Amino acid sequence: MAKQAERRAATTEAILAAARRLFGTQGFAATTMDEIAEGAGIAKGAVYHHFKTKEAVFEAVFDLVSRDLVAEIDGTARAEKDVLAAMVAGTQHYFAATAKGLTGQIILRDGPAVLGWERWREIDAQHFGGKMPRALTVAMEQGLIARQPVEPLARLLLGAVTEAAVACAGRADIAGAGAEYARAFKSLVEALRVRA
């Protein structure tokens, strides 16, 4: 039983690695299940055994890329002096990471279109989007921002980041747009800071 579970896990990992590369380099629409199977070194039927549709493969890849992105963001944020600076640095890293290569293609360009806004946001709330309420709670506990209901403030800030991400995805120069939006987000967050 253990060997079968190991084989299943290895096959799933191979499918996701191949799909991640293909979705990231050529996009969801241009990628076929045949290419994913070939990239994973397995039969197409084996891909369908693990994932019923190409959209299901994409959702798993999106979740994986989102998890990896948050791990990178956490590394960047840990170096900051306080939680507000960490929020700003994390958001700057988010925009920089989604401005290039496969991360931007999967998270910003194809993510909302393939998953739909509701599912895209649900998955994001488990990763990047879920960090906002926690960071604001800590900022309030540390006296960095005034105490207030966390959920509305988190939704407003996350809405700003989401809208900026959508705007960036539609621009030819995602990196330049991301830098502009990251600066604007920093202004929003710093305006919340309690002045001594």
Give the pLDDT mean for 91-103.
83
Q: Can you tell me the distance from the alpha carbon of 25 to that of 19, in angstroms, rounded to the nearest whole number?
A: 10
Angle between helical axes of 54-77 and 117-125 (0-180°, round to 10): 40
What is Dmax (Cα atoms) for the chain? 64
Q: What pLDDT does residue 179 have?
A: 82
Nearest-5° Cα angle at 108, 14 to 100: 75
3-state secondary structure of 65: helix
| Distances, alpha carbon 64 to alpha carbons 9, 75, 151, 184, in Å | 14, 17, 26, 28
- Contact present, 169 and 108 (Cβ < 8 Å): yes
Rounded average pLDDT over 47-65: 96
Q: From 50, 65, 64, 67, select the one nearest 10 (Cα to Cα).
A: 50
Is the pLDDT assigned to residue 152 strictly greater than 90? Answer: yes
Average pLDDT in the chain: 90
Instruction: Provide the percentage of residues in the chain whose pLDDT is more than 70.
Output: 97
pTM of the complete model:
0.86
**Mean predicted confidence (pLDDT) in 24-36:** 96
pLDDT over threshold 90, residue 153: yes
Q: Are 64 and 20 in contact (CB under 8 A)?
A: yes
Which residue carries 């946001």 as its tokens?
121
pLDDT confidence bin for 15, thresholds 50/70/90: very high
Q: Which distant-in-sequence residues (6+ apart) come within 8 Å of 88 by Cβ?
A: 80, 182, 185, 186, 189, 190
What would the pLDDT profile of 115-126 be if each residue is shown by its tens digit? 998 999 899 889
Q: Is the pLDDT of residue 196 over 70?
A: no
